[in-house]
Amino acid sequence: MQPTEEHIKEIAELLDCGQLCFFHEPTGTIEHHPDPNSEYFDPEAWQETLDRIDANWGEYQRFEKMGSNQAFRVMEDFANSLTDENFRTRLFNQLSQRKPFSKFNWAIDNSEYRQNWFDFKEQAYISWVREQLE
């Protein structure tokens, strides 16, 4: 079984939240867990899921979250998509400074473009999942 549009959207949302996702092809179910390389990962809390994936590894499609370069590119693409030149310039200024992710998010969170950003990022993650399917 291949992931449906609903599966793709769910996987995209989970990846955006920092989860690793696994689509179980025989059943069409999605398994997920935080990145085991994260310093905050608690393997005990996720042991059942990890064991289930490990026991049936060949039956899963794995989906990776975007790397920081890809996520940065999505922020640039969003800024480029804006017709408000003042805000676009402001976002590019934030992206060129130290800690660009937090500065970009602060600018977005305190703007009228917050929902536009969420919608744009959701579509970028959906495209990212589709790319991994190919």
Domain membership flag for residue 33: yes
Residue 38: per-residue pLDDT: 84
| Listed residues 63, 82, 97: the one ending a domain | 63
Residue 39: per-residue pLDDT: 86
Domain membership flag for residue 98: yes
How many domains, the chain?
A: 2
| DSSP-derived pairing of the beta strands 19-24 and 29-34 | antiparallel
Minimal CA–CA distance to 63: which of 118, 102, 17?
17
> CA 111, 114, 116, 122: dihedral to nearest 10 degrees?
150
In terms of domains, do 72 and 110 share one?
yes
In terms of domains, do 44 and 86 share one?
no
Minimal CA–CA distance to 128: which of 6, 1, 13?
13
Per-residue pLDDT of the chain (134 residues; tens, 9 = 90+): 899 999 999 999 999 999 999 999 999 999 999 988 888 889 899 999 999 999 999 999 999 999 999 999 999 999 999 999 999 999 999 999 999 999 999 999 999 999 999 999 999 999 999 999 98
Per the structure, the complete domain to which residue 17 belongs is given by 5-63
| Listed residues 45, 63, 81: the one ending a domain | 63
In terms of domains, do 82 and 52 share one?
no
